[in-house]
Copies of this chain bind each other. A is one copy, B any other.
Amino acid sequence: MIFTVQIKVMPLKDLLDPQGKAVMGGLQNLGLNNVSDVRIGKHIDLQIEAADKEAAKSAGEEAAKKLLANPVMEVFEVTIL
């Protein structure tokens, strides 16, 4: 069975996010002054063939650990649809 696995990779809370800071400046220049913080990360959708949800989730976690997220700077979250 094929599962859709979503992986969200975000910069760690303690680290600066210069891309987010730049976007916040841009939004304020566009008149959206009620935005107080912006963090930007990656969203990855995988189609994974697996026997069940658990197996799909562990394959997604393996993918995130091995390739998609850098544990020094990023934290990831895996969800199955």
Of the residues B40, B45, B66, B68, contact of A10 by C-beta under 8 Å:
B45
* Contact of A36 with B67 in the complex, beta carbons under 8 Å: no
Main SS at interface, chain A: strand
Q: What number of A residues sit within 8 Å (CB to CB) of B?
A: 33
Cα-based distance from A34 to B25 in the complex (angstroms): 41
Cα-based distance from A32 to B38 in the complex (angstroms): 33
Q: Tell me the A residues contacting B by CB distance below 8 Å.
A: 2, 8-10, 20, 23, 26-27, 30, 32, 34-50, 59, 62-63, 66-68
* Contact of A34 with B8 in the complex, beta carbons under 8 Å: no
Known contacts being A41-B43, A44-B40, is A49 close to B27, with CB within 8 Å? no
* Contact of B43 with A36 in the complex, beta carbons under 8 Å: no
